[in-house]
Structure 1
């Protein structure tokens, strides 16, 4: 009985130490600041922007809506709510761009998307999906300001 108990204890200690794979670079305060779970991940909302249903040919209206779209992107990025944005290349699926929103729910994402003039005007439509990615993703943003040469 004592041998079985000793063997069980050794086995238990071995498995718990084997299962534990601590990261020597782990920064608890950074993980907390970024909202990371134990895997260094968190929930976001991934947005696919598609061509909307508005087929207007009013060039000034379109230009104004897309100027507002770009202003809104900057506003959301400054508020740390939008961490990835970019256009898609020409494609048959009518995909125009993507956003990764730094929010946990579809409802929060939809509230942010309602602030976009091109989406409001139905020049763009948005499909939203829950997405699980690295909590460190927003940390690239300060570097982006150091690598672009021409304003877009």
Structure 2
């Protein structure tokens, strides 16, 4: 029985060894730097229902504006109602550009949302259903 347990454990260990670091990373031209934005609950959550609706409409308008400019590649909310509210993946040159776009979001300006910005190295092309053909 001990031998069978050893063989099964060895099988699982060897099976997962292939999931380590890729020895052939993608070519640099296949990768690029993006900016990953984590939207979080802000400090100011006392707005009344009408104000929350107005801020959400402005937030969505800013998302559409950034998508139309081609700087927003991915956007979406988290569905678990936690402190993390959503994400953006943005295609800009600098973190300062990210901040300039985020400043135009009424929900961020009002303190209802806050954010963290992280440079992210990912695939050179991210296609979305709102891409213009």
**TM-score higher than 0.5 here?**
yes
**TM-score, with length taken from structure 1:** 0.65
2:55 is aligned with 1:65: yes
Greater C-alpha radius of gyration: 1
Residue 145 of structure 1, CA deviation: 4.4
Matches within 5 A, 1:2-151: 38-90=28-80, 92=82, 94-137=83-126, 140-141=127-128, 144-145=129-130
**Number of matched residues?**
107
- What stretches of structure 2 of length at least 5 have no aligned partner? 1-23
Q: TM-score, normalised by structure 2?
A: 0.73
Counterpart of 1:53 in 2: which secondary structure?
coil
For 1:80 and 1:115, the matched residues in 2 are separated by: 16
Deviations 1:88-134 (A, max 9, x none): 12155x00000001113211111110011111111100100011111
Please list every run of at least 4 consecutive aligned residues from structure 1 whose deviation after the TM superposition is greater than 3 angstroms: none
Could you report, residue by residue, the CA deviation over 1:48-96 in whole angstroms, capped at 9, with x for unpaired residues?
A: 000001121411111101101001101100100000000012155x000
2:73 and 2:106 map into 1 onto residues whose CA distance is 19
The secondary structure found in structure 2 opposite 1:56 is coil
The runs of 5 or more residues in structure 1 that have no matched partner are 1-20, 24-36, 147-152
Q: Are the counterparts in 2 of residues 105 and 130 from structure 1 also a CA contact under 8 Å?
A: no
Q: Is the contact between residue 29 and residue 124 of structure 2 (CA under 8 Å) also seen in structure 1?
A: no
